[in-house]
Amino acid sequence: MQPWATLVGVITLLLAAPDVLAVKSHDFKTCSQAGFCRRGRALSARAAEAGTKWKSPYSVDSSSISISSNNAVFTASVKSSIYPEIHFGLELRVHEDGVVRVRMDEVNGLRKRYDEAASWALIAEPKISQDITWTTGKKDIRAKYGNNEVVVAFEPLTVSLLRGGKPQVVLNGRGLLHMEHFRSKKVEETKTEEAAPQAEEGVEDQVAADQIVLKTEEINPAAWFVGDKEDDWWEERFSTWTDSKPKGPESLSIDISFPSHGTIYGIPQHATKLALPTTAGDSPFFTDPYRLYNADVFEYLASSPMSLYGSIPILHAHSTDSTVGIFHAVGSETWIDVSHASEKSTETHWISESGILDLFLMPGPTPADIFAQYSALTGTPVLPPHWSLGYHQCRWNYVSTDDVRTVQRRFDEEDMPVDVFWLDIEYADEHKYFMWDDKNFPDPVEMTNDVAANARKMVVIVDPHLKRTSNYPAYQEASDRKLLVMPASGEGEFEGWCWSGSSSWIDFFNPNAWDWWKSLFKTTALKSGWSWTLSTTDIHIWNDMNEPSVFNGPEISMPRDNVHHGGWEHRDIHNINGMLFSNLTSKAVQERTDPPQRPFVLTRSFFAGSQRFGAMWTGDNLGTWEHMAVGISMVLSNGIAGMSFAGSDVGGFFGNPEPDMLVRWYQVGIFNPFFRAHAHIDTKRREPFLLEQPYKGIIKDILRLRYTMLPIWYTAFRETSVTGVPVLRPHYVMFPKDPKGFALDDQYFIGNSGLLVKPITSKGTIETTVYLPEDEVYYDYFSHHVYRGAAKGKDITVKAELDQVPVFVRGGSIVPTRERPRRSSPLMKLDPFTLRVSLSKAGSARGDLYLDDGVTYSHEKGQFVWREFTAQTAKKTVRITTRDLGVEKKAEAVDGVALASYNPSNVFAETIKEVRVEKIVVEGLSGKPSSVKTEGGEELVWEFAAGVAANGKGEGVASVLTIKDPRVLIVKDWAVIIQL
């Protein structure tokens, strides 16, 4: 078959399924279309109407309080005055790092609520503090630790986290806590003594169904709280679908207030600003709450609280005084209303469809503390393979092995660097992933080897829907082993429609699926079953459609009453589902080799903890300026929620960007942690080599700029992999006390490098303003122009013509780059470094550089190089020197491994022992040096261009000293002395 024949096939498929292409907002529920959300919002409306008369019916039974022998865990019974016969259990525990975990569940209920969300998100059971003393009073119980205090008030039940006596987080302060208890379905009450209605299918309690009560309407004394009707308790319809809801109502509503914090961030993924706009209160920005329900939203809006592909239920609440955070380990659909009673406070209301209350209150008090606290719970982002920080070239689809070879050749002819070529779903025969379409991809291993010959990789898509056909081993083996998600009946295989037609989905909640899934990725033949022998270890994986996307399902996903391992309904675990798929795929790729190698897996769907397994992207964005801009705030938001390794489709997935837009999109892309161009199957080809000049040349320079900066990115990833502080740092993270930066989400810093970036995301722009948050110098990265900030912050205006992207170096930084253009990043391994020393006003600077083999886990055994560079000015001498952070900070060099020893001559360090610093550029010196020498050495070769001094007052081009070949090595200690 010709390549175009495949395309025709795909287009026919798409046309045959018009609803796939027609998905618009109305295919997804609003809050008022989701029974539990409607009930939750109605509860909050009744509370607002009642005003001060409103009282939460939930209270702690003080006689039930029990404190564990080590004093750290407090448990008590909770009662609701409107359902006195129902029992709830409350548990509070304080972790070693001050995080408070608050859990509440129904006790001895008719059924069990899903309580396993945390077990998928957390890396380990958190360690409990040994320093807690609970003090029980008449009205409350409290524990003080450090400057923090946690107080549980009995009636009504509230939980407050205080710092310095001031409330930071308050649960149920507005009285919106409501855990709908399990109950039996009552049969319709009738007003006359006519024949009783038949029990409907799905009625759980047949006994109750048989005991028909013939009575007139009762007054419901609880109506003030729960409303006066059973609103979609036992069945729910949306569009053409009916959700059988066999367990009945089980939603959870909780208000979480931040009385001292006026700005909040987080709960990705939404296409909106980083500082979350309101959804409730007076004149809300959005009228619906933020929704967390992983969904494949076709042509999503660039500004909306609608759900997108992933969900991370974490919030940061921020003020000039402190940052606090909350993480709710809940896997079911969740809606979150946001309002501000005052500029200095925030109220949120969380409404989840099912699950227990499992809240982690993170006391901060700095953003860095929150990152540490959240990382201790869910893990830090993975240190990715180094090559995956290069440029990824993707489209739907490169249509044959020769197409891939041609694209590679064209990049090389134009001297454009690229590390990875991607294959979308059309490589797979009938969309049976792993199975090559052997007409167009007759030689996949040879193709991969041709790519690998240039030290490049391939990424190939593997989606979770398995075509239901016996000639597809992945499906047949999963079916034989009973590893597939079940329909509502709890028997057999759920069948839905996706790219591969009639399909079924692996149930990754079933542990039996894990080893089997991993075995499929082995590149060698196995006795136990099928494996992907027509692949090589240079192929890495793209997991798409894992929300899961089901074309003929409700909201383009699985029916909520589908059944997973353990009998749990899909509704209970929906938001976790996508993470398990990419988790297992990443383990599969990692374990293909012995010893294991670092996997690269891109996922579209994600949950809290997904940062441990790979990268994500923002899905099917549109080729519009609005989408380009919102992509930046989405990536920032993902970063603060743990998923640093993120990016948006460069060029926009849909549409045919004009060349100027494409240029701007590449400028955005090189400053995303994950940098991939991708395009829909209906778009025109737009690989950078296809453009006319000057656009082609501009994009080539942009690609090369990314490659020169790879040492900065990799060093930033190391830090993130250890501390959790994101790779892209918004202003509030860098300058938490500067309120002018709280809403900024169009400029940000890269790691701790000192680079400040403001990509341009509007057409025809020739200049822009950039906010400088401090009284420090900032250098234009390209022109060395010095700008001066101010203690109260200052906007500067800078040029931003099409070939210019505003990038600045914060005074006080030393930035390592590699300036030699190469075809792909592994070929840069032995290239020399340039160190750019950007002096602060005080004449100092620092920076670090982390390197390892970028592929294996040998860094965990101490095989890496981690250097710090510093510059100090004393009298008339500037001394630039370096020290070995591997030696100094071995215990914190590598995530999860406290190295006891570090050998500076380790195996990796030896491989780069000849690598030189080829140039040192010092900007901002106060005058022309009289001499520049290495310590104890000869005069070096240098040039000086006079200009503005960092410690002066002027603006304009900085003085620049260029030291050529200082004859120093990257792995050795040395000092360069500049005599002024």
Applying the rule CB under 6 A, the residues between 211 and 230 that interact with ligand NOJ are none
Nearer to ligand NOJ, 361 or 558 (CB): 558
Distance from chain centroid for Cα 760: 23
Residue with Cβ nearer ligand NOJ (428 or 899): 428
Strand ordering across the sheet containing 755-757:
728-729, 748-750, 755-757, 807-810, 777-780, 785-788, 956-957
425 binds ligand NOJ (CB under 6 A): yes
Give the residue with the Cβ less far from ligand NOJ, 5 or 213. Answer: 5
Other beta carbons less than 10 A from residue 457's beta carbon: 24
Cα gap 232→243, rounded to integer Å: 10
The interface with ligand NOJ within residues 658-687 (CB under 6 A) comprises: 678
Pairing state between β 457-461 and 539-543: parallel
C-alpha dist (Å) from residue 101 to 11, 108, 252, 956 = 51, 22, 17, 53
What is the contact mask toward ligand NOJ in residues 854 to 893, using x (rule: CB under 6 A)?
Answer: ----------------------------------------
Q: How far is the CB of 640 from ligand NOJ (least distance, A)?
A: 23
Minimal distance, residue 429 CB to ligand NOJ, in Å: 15
For ligand NOJ, the nearest residue by Cβ is 396
Encoding tokens for residue 837? 């020393």
157 vs 466, which CB is nearer to ligand NOJ?
466
Helix ranges, 362-400 (H):
367-378
Q: Look-up: residue for tokens 């979480």?
A: 256
Among candidate residues 424, 547, 569, 853, the one labeled active-site is 547
Distances (CA, A) of 325 to 129, 162, 228, 841: 19, 13, 35, 35
b/e sequence 954-969, b meaning 16+ C-beta within 10 Å: eeebbbbbebeebbbb
The residue type of 269 is Q
* Site track 625-664 with ligand NOJ (rule: CB under 6 A), x = hit: ----------------------------x-----------
Q: Does 895 bind ligand NOJ (CB under 6 A)?
A: no
Beta bridge partners of 93: 73, 101
The C-alpha atoms of residue 138 and residue 129 are separated, in whole angstroms, by: 25
CB of 456 to ligand NOJ, least distance (A): 20
Binding mask 438-477 for ligand NOJ (x = CB under 6 A): -----------------------x----------------
Q: Are 58 and 177 in contact (CB under 8 A)?
A: yes
Alpha carbon 806 to its chain's center: 25
Residue 75 CB, nearest approach to ligand NOJ (Å) = 45
Of 308 and 589, the one with the shorter C-beta distance to ligand NOJ is 308
Cα–Cα dist 428/841, whole Å: 58
544 included as an active-site residue: yes
- Cβ proximity to ligand NOJ, 540 vs 718, nearer residue: 540
Give the nearest distance from C-beta 500 to ligand NOJ in angstroms. 11
Among the listed residues 369, 620, 831, 884, the single contact to ligand NOJ using CB under 6 A: 620
Told to check if 544 binds ligand NOJ by CB under 6 A, we report: yes
Instruction: Give the nearer residue to ligand NOJ in terms of CB position, either 93 or 604.
Output: 604
Binding mask 569-608 for ligand NOJ (x = CB under 6 A): -----------------------------------x----
Can you read off the two tokens belonging to residue 243? 């959700």
Q: Which is nearer to ligand NOJ, 618 or 906 (CB)?
A: 618
Active-site residue, selected from the candidate residues 105, 232, 463, 620: 620
CB 161 within 8 A of CB 167: yes
- What is the pairing mode between strands 148-153 and 236-238? unpaired
Active site residue 438: no
Largest separation between any pair of C-alpha atoms in the chain = 108
SS (H, E, C) 826-889: HHHCCCCEEEEEECCCCCCEEEEEEECCCCCCHHHHCCCEEEEEEEEEECCEEEEEEEEHHHHC
The tokens for 508 are 């990754």
Contacts with ligand NOJ by CB under 6 A: the residue count is 10
In this structure, which long-range contacts are made by residues 850-853, counting pairs with CB atoms below 8 Å and at least 24 apart in sequence?
850/714, 850/715, 850/718, 850/719, 851/711, 851/714, 851/908, 851/912, 851/970, 852/386, 852/908, 853/908, 853/911
Site for ligand NOJ, residues 915 to 944, rule: CB under 6 A: none
- Side-chain half-sphere of 801: how many Cα atoms within 13 Å? 4
Burial class (CB in 10 A: 0-12, 13-18, 19+), 314: buried
Site for ligand NOJ in 343-402 (CB under 6 A): 396
Q: Which of residues 236-265 bind ligand NOJ (CB under 6 A)?
A: none
Q: Which of 232, 544, 555, 649 is catalytic?
A: 544
429 lies in the site for ligand NOJ, by CB under 6 A: no
Residue 659: CB minimum distance to ligand NOJ, A: 22
* Residue 58: CB minimum distance to ligand NOJ, A: 43
Does position 428 bind ligand NOJ by CB under 6 A?
no
Active site residue 250: no
* Cβ distance to ligand NOJ smaller for residue 398 or 771: 398
Residue 682: CB minimum distance to ligand NOJ, A: 11
In the complex, minimum distance from the CB of residue 299 to ligand NOJ, in angstroms, rounded to a whole number? 11
By the 10 Å C-beta count (0-12 exposed, 13-18 middle, 19+ buried), 595 is classed as: exposed
Task: Please say which residue, 56 or 621, places its beta carbon nearer to ligand NOJ.
Answer: 621
| Cα 36 to Cα 846: distance, rounded to the nearest angstrom | 53
DSSP 563: B
The least CB distance from residue 541 to ligand NOJ, in Å, is 13
What CA–CA distance (Å, rounded) separates 493 from 495? 6
Is residue 619 part of the contact set for ligand NOJ (CB under 6 A)? Answer: yes
Q: At what angle do helices 695-708 and 659-669 cross, to 10 degrees?
A: 0
Task: Name the residue nearer to ligand NOJ (CB basis): 544 or 831.
Answer: 544
Nearer to ligand NOJ (CB atom), residue 345 or residue 621: 621
Which is it for strands 916-923 and 833-838: parallel, antiparallel or unpaired?
Answer: parallel
Minimum distance of ligand NOJ from residue 332's CB (angstroms): 24
Asked whether 646 and 635 are in contact (CB, 8 A), the reply is yes
Q: Which of 180, 424, 429, 538 binds ligand NOJ (CB under 6 A)?
A: 424
The answer to whether 474 touches 430, Cβ cutoff 8 Å, is: no
Q: Which is nearer to ligand NOJ, 269 or 720 (CB)?
A: 269
Would you please indicate which residues are annotated as catalytic (active-site) residues? 544, 547, 620
* Residue ranges binding ligand NOJ (CB under 6 A): 396, 424-425, 461, 544, 604, 619-620, 653, 678
